[in-house]
């Protein structure tokens, strides 16, 4: 099985007692082979089609906050540095290298890559590293103040936690779970489209998991809200980090269990059933890697990009057995 984009960072995250040892952390920072992923609002620093890892000593300046220790790879310690820090105190920080996100201009500079572009340009391992670095730097940007008491927080454990000196609260990086699901009914597949997408693009339904809800319940609720139908038999397929800014996409398939399409909520422009032939034809065409702008003619189905878990779910469904309608 092909791994999902944004997975596959090859490193030891050292997520153990080593991180809580100040002497060990200091030694990593001073290590002659210490390098850093450099990222900021303009994107990730790249050289050609791989991340441009700078020697840590060359980029540490008084203006930079403590670099985040991502972990150790075969060459030594690997850090992430937010090149835009320190940010103005009261301004809401933009996301790290989100390039291509709705209403944002594409990343401008040469030698920079937006995160979405990184998904299709970088190797599997570098894509995973990009996702990790962006997610953790985004978290630091948004958690400079304690959500409990409002005091300024301080990085701990090489940057994989923050603590509040005023109230003692410990804060850990967040990952927000999102369920993304294919609804199937024999050889029919239910897909939806959002307004900003290129003409003809349809993809899997998706939504955030709500507090106090199981993943299966989230799948059923989201499908009901977005398409007005009931589903059953949710089966977990695979997951994909989605650092825009901190999601984890949890991929499912589920079966239509009743109800007719209708009552579409504001998020979606349309939901439709597609038969296997239509989906097969769209998959064979390859389809655009472009996320938002695109050249679909509006008449034919345009599948999501290959770097999206939705596309992997659809390809997985196509690879499965052909069924006649109603036989599930």
Contacts of 279 (CB under 8 A, 6+ apart): 189, 301, 303, 314, 317, 318
Q: Which of residues 150-179 bind Zn ion (CB under 5 A)?
A: 151, 164, 166-167, 169
The minimum distance between CB 190 and Zn ion, in angstroms, equals 45
The minimum distance between CB 66 and Zn ion, in angstroms, equals 19
Q: Which of residues 200-259 bind Zn ion (CB under 5 A)?
A: none
x/- map, 116-155, Zn ion, by CB under 5 A: ------------------------------x-xx-x----
Rounded Cα distance between 226 and 193, Å, is 10
- For Zn ion, the closer CB: 152 or 235: 152
Could you give the C-alpha distances from 266 to 128, 179, 190, 204, 230, in angstroms and in order? 33, 18, 18, 16, 19
The minimum distance between CB 153 and Zn ion, in angstroms, equals 7
The minimum distance between CB 136 and Zn ion, in angstroms, equals 21
The minimum distance between CB 17 and Zn ion, in angstroms, equals 25
- For Zn ion, the closer CB: 166 or 325: 166
- For Zn ion, the closer CB: 57 or 148: 148
Q: Three-state SS string across 224-246, please? A: HHHHCCEEEEEEEEEEEEECCCC
User: Whose structure tokens read 């000593």?
Assistant: 57
Rounded Cα distance between 30 and 25, Å, is 9
Q: For residues 226 and 207, is the Cβ–Cβ distance under 8 A?
A: yes
Phi-psi region of 186 (alpha: psi -120 to 50; beta: other; left: phi over 0): left
The minimum distance between CB 162 and Zn ion, in angstroms, equals 10
- For Zn ion, the closer CB: 165 or 320: 165
x/- map, 89-108, Zn ion, by CB under 5 A: --------------------
The minimum distance between CB 169 and Zn ion, in angstroms, equals 5
- For Zn ion, the closer CB: 170 or 293: 170
Beta strand 50-51 with 247-258: parallel, antiparallel or unpaired?
Answer: unpaired
Residues binding Zn ion: number (CB under 5 A): 8
User: Judged by CB under 5 A, does residue 81 bind Zn ion?
Assistant: no
- For Zn ion, the closer CB: 27 or 151: 151
- For Zn ion, the closer CB: 38 or 164: 164
List the beta strands (DSSP E) in the chain: 35-40, 43-47, 50-51, 54-55, 68-73, 76-82, 112-113, 154-156, 161-163, 170-171, 176-185, 188-193, 205-208, 230-242, 247-258, 270-275
Q: For residues 306 and 295, is the Cβ–Cβ distance under 8 A?
A: no
- For Zn ion, the closer CB: 33 or 151: 151
Structure-token pair, residue 20: 């809580």
Q: Which of residues 307-326 bind Zn ion (CB under 5 A)?
A: none
Phi-psi region of 263 (alpha: psi -120 to 50; beta: other; left: phi over 0): left
The minimum distance between CB 142 and Zn ion, in angstroms, equals 15
Point out which residues bind Zn ion (CB under 5 A).
Answer: 146, 148-149, 151, 164, 166-167, 169
């Amino acid at each position: 099985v092909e791994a999902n984009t944004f997975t596959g960072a090859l490193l030891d995250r050292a997520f153990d007692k080593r991180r809580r040892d100040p002497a060990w952390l200091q030694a990593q920072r001073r290590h002659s082979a210490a390098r850093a992923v450099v990222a900021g609002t303009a994107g990730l620093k790249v050289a050609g089609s791989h991340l441009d890892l700078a020697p840590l000593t060359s980029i540490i300046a008084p203006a930079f906050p403590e670099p985040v220790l991502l972990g150790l790879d075969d060459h030594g310690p690997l850090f992430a540095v937010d090149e835009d820090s320190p940010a103005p105190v009261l301004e809401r920080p933009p996301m790290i290298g989100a390039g291509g996100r709705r209403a944002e201009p594409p990343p401008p500079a040469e030698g920079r890559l937006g995160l979405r572009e990184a998904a299709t340009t970088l190797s599997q391992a570098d894509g995973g590293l990009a996702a990790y670095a962006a997610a953790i730097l985004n978290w630091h940007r948004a958690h400079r103040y304690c959500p409990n008491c409002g005091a300024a927080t301080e990085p701990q454990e090489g940057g994989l936690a923050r603590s509040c000196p005023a109230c003692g609260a410990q804060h850990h990086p967040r990952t927000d779970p999102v369920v993304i699901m294919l609804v199937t009914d024999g050889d029919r597949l239910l897909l939806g489209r959002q307004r900003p997408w290129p003409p003809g693009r349809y993809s899997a339904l998706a939504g955030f998991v709500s507090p106090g809800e199981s993943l299966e319940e989230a799948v059923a609720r989201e499908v009901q809200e977005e398409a007005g139908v009931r589903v059953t038999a949710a089966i977990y397929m695979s997951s994909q980090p989605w650092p825009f800014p901190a999601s984890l996409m949890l991929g499912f398939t589920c079966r239509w269990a009743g109800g007719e399409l209708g009552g579409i909520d504001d998020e979606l422009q349309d939901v439709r059933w597609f038969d296997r032939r239509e989906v097969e034809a769209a998959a064979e065409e390859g389809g655009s890697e472009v996320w938002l702008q695109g050249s679909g003619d509006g008449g034919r189905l345009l599948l999501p990009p290959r770097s999206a878990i939705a596309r992997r779910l659809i390809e997985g469904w196509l690879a499965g057995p052909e069924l006649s309608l109603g036989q599930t």
